[in-house]
A and B are shown apart, each in its own frame.
Chain A
């Protein structure tokens, strides 16, 4: 900066200004974070901390029921949520952003319309769709019947084969505004002369999209992918609203957050704290690990392309 920051605060005064925020943050964020790490290394009887057991809780997570079968299943479901979000929500978002980018009229209106579901609480969105998909009075099945697709109408959330896809689609419906706005902003900042040059060279609009625009968007696609991964791994309100805390039907919509919630607060197991803390740590390590590795790999790919 300008090197003559005469307005600098003396450190004691600055610390005084800092004090309220620092105190609040230390007590309700830093302290819980620090203790959480130790929780998983002890055995618990209810709320009483017992012996230091090292990694026993993690071992129990992998070898004893119900965790042994529920943990991989929940992880796989989170993985499917991520894959579904990448395929449905992010590509629809990109497509719509690209279509909007080409127009000047009504762009703002469309952006606002597409972003509306994003502003509604995810819990409300989940419950709303559970009502819309109801086999009794649900407008979705009614609409299918009205257009002669009687055979397609079914209890979407009651069938283990379709329930998780409902979660994917409902999540995508809510979140599509997020990639849309980010890609929209990125497209707006791209240099238009590249595309114009390709156009003069006779490239079709599809070629221009795949070979000119898309490569320029890669860094943003990387960012959106990492954020989508984090959101997918932490998905909670929508699965909770659509399938309850047990991930019904038959665990078809069970995800990591629900497994954690059940283990910590609904299981009645005496070592609930130890095991659930282990679940939380596994989830945290996977989120951070994959995000870091992905970002690194993506930078590498990007460099290879430019």
Chain B
């Protein structure tokens, strides 16, 4: 780029102006993207009086009152624990069963398996609005209505298409010499899977875990409909009742939003590279 700019002497000034304009756009949008999130965080440390008196102010005397209120009074501790339990259990369950299934699909040559794989993958385009009413009655019938267990099973099931797809793709790229060696040494399929393959698929497992954790943690549609008991609420549904009940306690509302977001920030810091790589995987053709 710069090479050409230097050759075209008279254009140099314009190139510089262009560069400056691009910089203004880039930093300008960075402000637009970031400032609302920063306001969310610092308003959670301010009192309601401060918020009304000066909507644009910074936390001059930061206080944790809003967090205490949200965590204790507004039952965020309950919602938070439910979310942690439901998200980790459903991601663990779906990853475990998907890994077994992906191994079978990747290492089998049977026609039947190819058909089954198609069925799984077709679930990537699941019509959730269509399925939710039958799921509601299904859970009711088997006695899991309004329970965390029911929610975990549903999340695990709807995660299978994505997880199987990613894991099977990854397993197919692994050379099978190691498995051959294990087999010759007398290891059965389960032992081969456990001791030989499992250590190798770690990166793919990490991707699947991160990419199912985020949408399940954030999801609000399934629990809104499937969970009626407040003690079983996850954070997003908890937020909706909370916004109805704490309408005038604004700093508490901000604190609630921060609590719901914090685990994702932690996850993001731990797994940035995986997220950015995964978001664009296969898109750049």
Using A14-B110, A178-B279 as known contacts, list a sample of 7 further A-B pairs with CB atoms less than 8 Å apart, ordered by residue number in A.
A24-B160, A25-B161, A28-B138, A131-B253, A176-B33, A257-B129, A283-B129
Assembly CA distance A130 to B246 (angstroms): 14
In the complex, are the beta carbons of A24 and B156 less than 8 A apart?
yes
Look across to chain A and name the residue whose beta carbon is closest to the beta carbon of B128.
A234
Map CB proximity to B onto A106-119 as digits: 1 under 8 Å, 0 otherwise. Answer: 00001111111101
Q: Which residues of A contact B250 (CB under 8 A)?
A: 131, 134, 137
In the complex, are the beta carbons of B51 and A137 less than 8 A apart?
yes
* Given A17-B189, A25-B160: A121 touches B284 (CB 8 Å cut-off): no
Assembly CA distance A283 to B130 (angstroms): 9
- A84 at the binding interface (Cβ < 8 Å): no
- B34 at the binding interface (Cβ < 8 Å): yes
Choose from A21, A112, A128, A273 the contact partner of B164 (Cβ within 8 Å).
A21
CB distance from B178 to the nearest CB of A (A): 9
CB distance from B265 to the nearest CB of A (A): 8
Map CB proximity to A onto B255-277 as digits: 1 under 8 Å, 0 otherwise. Answer: 00100110011001000100110
In the complex, are the beta carbons of A11 and B108 less than 8 A apart?
yes
CB distance from B76 to the nearest CB of A (A): 13
Total interface residues on A, CB under 8 Å, equals 102
Q: Which residues of B contact A141 (CB under 8 A)?
A: 55
* Given A29-B160, A96-B26: A21 touches B97 (CB 8 Å cut-off): yes
* Given A5-B176, A21-B98, A113-B30: A199 touches B4 (CB 8 Å cut-off): yes
In the complex, are the beta carbons of B240 and A121 less than 8 A apart?
no
In the complex, are the beta carbons of A117 and B127 less than 8 A apart?
no
- A185 at the binding interface (Cβ < 8 Å): yes
CB distance from A91 to the nearest CB of B (A): 13
Assembly CA distance A265 to B222 (angstroms): 13
Look across to chain B and name the residue whose beta carbon is closest to the beta carbon of A20.
B97
In the complex, are the beta carbons of A123 and B32 less than 8 A apart?
no
Q: In the A-B complex, list the 9 residue pairs whose CB atoms are closest, starting with the nearest.
A: A28-B157, A121-B218, A32-B134, A185-B284, A142-B55, A21-B101, A17-B104, A7-B176, A14-B104
- B191 at the binding interface (Cβ < 8 Å): no
Q: Which residues of B contact A123 (CB under 8 A)?
A: 218, 220, 236, 239-240, 260
* Given A7-B179, A123-B218, A136-B52: A21 touches B100 (CB 8 Å cut-off): yes
- A281 at the binding interface (Cβ < 8 Å): yes
A residues with CB within 8 A of B: 5-9, 11, 13-18, 20-22, 24-25, 27-33, 35-37, 39, 47, 92, 95-96, 99-100, 102-103, 110-117, 119-124, 127-132, 134, 136-139, 141-143, 146, 173, 176, 178, 181-182, 184-186, 188-189, 196, 199-200, 205, 219-220, 223, 234, 236-237, 240-241, 257, 260-261, 264-265, 273, 276-277, 279-281, 283-284, 287-288
In the complex, are the beta carbons of A117 and B37 less than 8 A apart?
yes
* Given A99-B22, A129-B36, A184-B280: A11 touches B272 (CB 8 Å cut-off): no
In the complex, are the beta carbons of B130 and A36 less than 8 A apart?
yes
In the complex, are the beta carbons of B105 and A18 less than 8 A apart?
yes
- B56 at the binding interface (Cβ < 8 Å): yes
Q: Which of B116-162 contact A (CB under 8 A)?
A: 116, 119-120, 123, 125-135, 137-138, 153-154, 156-158, 160-161
In the complex, are the beta carbons of A32 and B25 less than 8 A apart?
no
- Report 16 cross-chain contacts, Cβ distance below 8 Å, ordered by A residue: A7-B107, A7-B179, A13-B189, A14-B108, A20-B100, A21-B101, A24-B157, A28-B158, A29-B160, A100-B26, A121-B264, A139-B39, A173-B33, A189-B284, A264-B133, A280-B133
- B1 at the binding interface (Cβ < 8 Å): yes
Choose from A134, A139, A276 the contact partner of B56 (Cβ within 8 Å).
A139
In the complex, are the beta carbons of B153 and A28 less than 8 A apart?
yes
In the complex, are the beta carbons of B157 and A132 less than 8 A apart?
no
Q: Which residues of A contact B77 (CB under 8 A)?
A: none
Q: Which residues of A contact B1 (CB under 8 A)?
A: 102
- B6 at the binding interface (Cβ < 8 Å): no
CB distance from A144 to the nearest CB of B (A): 11
In the complex, are the beta carbons of A29 and B30 less than 8 A apart?
no
In the complex, are the beta carbons of A8 and B104 less than 8 A apart?
no
Assembly CA distance A113 to B93 (angstroms): 33
Choose from A5, A99, A119, A223 the contact partner of B25 (Cβ within 8 Å).
A99
Q: Which residue among B56, B130, B217, B254 has the maximum number of chain A CB atoms within 10 Å of its CB?
A: B130
* Given A15-B104, A114-B29, A116-B37: A237 touches B56 (CB 8 Å cut-off): no
* Given A22-B101, A173-B32: A124 touches B257 (CB 8 Å cut-off): yes
Assembly CA distance A288 to B98 (angstroms): 27
In the complex, are the beta carbons of B217 and A121 less than 8 A apart?
yes
- B202 at the binding interface (Cβ < 8 Å): no
* Given A14-B113, A32-B135, A120-B261: A142 touches B253 (CB 8 Å cut-off): no
In the complex, are the beta carbons of B104 and A29 less than 8 A apart?
no
Q: Which residues of A contact B97 (CB under 8 A)?
A: 20-21, 24
Look across to chain A and name the residue whose beta carbon is closest to the beta carbon of B103.
A17
CB distance from A85 to the nearest CB of B (A): 17
* Given A18-B105, A283-B129: A96 touches B134 (CB 8 Å cut-off): no
Assembly CA distance A290 to B184 (angstroms): 53
Look across to chain A and name the residue whose beta carbon is closest to the beta carbon of B179.
A7
